[in-house]
């Protein structure tokens, strides 16, 4: 199965947020079942640590619990309010379950290279940790002011602004919003 929802080269925490989306005004959950989770993990796989690739779709409940927490934390950031403590705990737990450290290794050609070693965490915990760490980075890092929620009618997605006036998650949403505005102007 190909993942049917939006995956748009956004930071991982935003991709997780955006697994709740809408199509034709109907709310949809990309992680409604294990099949959906498997397909979605496949869609973001290239951006997860290599050790997360065996992540187990049967851990659906854990992924959905972290999604709730990540959504609350991202929304709190855009609303400039403190997040619910239970959400903070859930994000921190997921991060703590996959400790990691950089390791120095040999590169081909005689140089050196860095790799990240995850200590004893299983593939699913490594995936959950990657989403949690990304959420922490997003809401505390230099780009926290660039977090945006799409302003198009009916859209529930978030995005990271690549220019200060961006108000839509996609050009399709921008067009829809402009059409809606035009319709309102011409049909008073």
Q: Does 158 bind Zn ion (CB under 5 A)?
A: no
Q: Give me the least distance between CB of 45 and Zn ion, in Å please.
A: 24
Nearer CB in complex with Zn ion: 130/169 = 169
The verdict on 152 binding Zn ion (CB under 5 A) reads: yes
Q: How far is the CB of 157 from Zn ion (least distance, A)?
A: 5
- Judged by CB, which is closer to Zn ion: 10, or 124? 10
Please state the closest distance from residue 169 (CB atom) to Zn ion, in A.
Answer: 3
In b/e form, how buried is each residue of 92-116, taking b as 16+ CB within 10 angstroms? eebbebbebeeeeeeeeeeeeeeee
Interface residue with Zn ion among 41, 70, 135, 173 (CB under 5 A) is 173
Dump strand ranges (E) for 4-80: 20-23, 26-29
Question: Of the candidates 121, 155, 158, 177, which one interacts with Zn ion according to CB under 5 A?
Answer: 155
Number of residues that bind Zn ion (CB under 5 A): 6
Going by C-alpha positions, the residue among 133, 46, 143 that lies closest to residue 92 is 133
- Asked whether 76 and 135 are in contact (CB, 8 A), the reply is no
Contact with Zn ion (CB under 5 A) among 20, 98, 169, 177: 169
User: Least distance to Zn ion from the beta carbon of 152, Å?
Assistant: 4
Least Å distance between CB 168 and Zn ion? 5
Q: How far is it, in rounded angstroms, from Cα 131 to Cα 50?
A: 14
Q: Are 147 and 74 in contact (CB under 8 A)?
A: yes
Phi, psi values for residue 159, rounded to 5°: -155, 165
Residue 26's SS3 state is: strand
Per rule CB under 5 A, is residue 150 in the interface with Zn ion?
yes
Which string of x and - marks every residue 97-136 that binds Zn ion (by CB under 5 A)? ----------------------------------------
d(CA 143, CA 158): 14
Interface contacts to Zn ion, rule CB under 5 A: 150, 152, 155, 157, 169, 173
């Amino acid at each position: 199965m190909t993942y049917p929802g939006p995956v748009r080269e956004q930071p991982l925490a935003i991709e997780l947020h955006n697994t709740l989306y809408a199509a034709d005004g109907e709310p949809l959950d990309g992680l409604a079942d294990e099949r959906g989770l498997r397909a979605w993990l496949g869609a973001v796989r290239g951006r997860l640590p290599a050790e997360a690739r065996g992540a187990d779709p049967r851990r659906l409940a854990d992924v959905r619990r972290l999604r709730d927490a990540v959504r609350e934390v991202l929304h709190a950031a855009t609303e400039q309010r403190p997040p619910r403590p239970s959400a903070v705990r859930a994000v921190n737990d997921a991060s703590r379950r996959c400790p990691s450290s950089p390791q120095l290794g040999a590169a081909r050609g005689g140089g050196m290279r860095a790799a990240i070693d995850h200590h004893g965490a299983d593939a699913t915990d490594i995936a959950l940790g990657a989403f949690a760490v990304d959420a922490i980075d997003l809401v505390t890092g230099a780009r926290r002011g660039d977090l945006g929620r799409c302003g198009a009618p009916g859209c529930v997605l978030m995005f990271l602004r690549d220019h200060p006036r961006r108000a839509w998650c996609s050009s399709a949403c921008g067009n829809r919003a402009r059409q809606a505005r035009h319709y309102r102007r011409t049909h008073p």
